[in-house]
Amino acid sequence: MMILETERLILRQWEPDELHLVHGIVGHLPTMQFWPAPFTIQQSEGWLRRCLETYAATANTLGRWATVLKESGRVIGDCGLMISEVNGVAQNDLGYIIHADHWRNGYATEAAAAIRDYAFLRLKLPRIVANMACDHHGSARVAEIIGMTLEAEFLNQKNRGIRTFLYSMQRGSFQ
């Protein structure tokens, strides 16, 4: 099921039989270098299961979605919006993971902007956040480009206790 379409991308729900595609992204060391470690196949299976459960629990409005290049049909990432605990608080968490082979092409920014618009214009959410390791400059830059501002820094217990940036945006500040 397609959720969003941009100029170059389609964001669609993951299918139950796409574990190999999920794992090709979250199990890839260069792509996951800012996470505790690349996912094992079992962790990738859990990630996919949580995606599918989120679709069902939210009437297909939230979730992490396969990020597909329109031109080729190739899955290059996993992006979306989930309710996640971030620094101890349940938040509308915008996330984007683009396979390292496709970094620096603007795909994360394009997907994140579409998700931001979806969150504020369609879902009418009051606020969204994004969090990333403090040394993940590319991810921080994506958040800034789409209009998010640095709200806080915290030690992320979900990611080795490392210093993490929390970016946020309110619907009222969205133009």
Integer Cα distance of 147 and 30 in angstroms: 27
Phi/psi of residue 7, nearest 5 degrees: -60, -40
Please write the tens of the pLDDT for every residue from 32-89. Answer: 999 889 999 999 999 999 999 999 999 999 999 999 999 999 999 999 999 999 988 9
| CA 104 – CA 108 distance, rounded (Å) | 9
Better-predicted residue by pLDDT, 158 or 78: 78
pLDDT 10s digits, 123-152: 999 999 999 999 999 999 999 999 999 999
CATH tag, 2-126: 3.40.630.30
Q: What is the reported pLDDT for 84?
A: 92
Q: Are 128 and 86 in contact (CB under 8 A)?
A: no
Is residue 93 scored above 80 in pLDDT? Answer: yes
Binning pLDDT at 50, 70 and 90, where does residue 157 land? confident
Top-confidence residue, 138 or 158: 138
pLDDT score of 36: 87
* Spatial contact of 166 and 151, defined as CB atoms under 8 Å apart: yes
C-alpha R_g of the chain? 15
Question: Residue 73 corresponds to which tokens in the numbers above?
Answer: 């049909």
Structure tokens at 8: 């170059």
- For helices 107-117 and 137-145, the axis angle rounded to 10 degrees is 40
The residue type of 87 is N
Tokens of 106: 């603007």
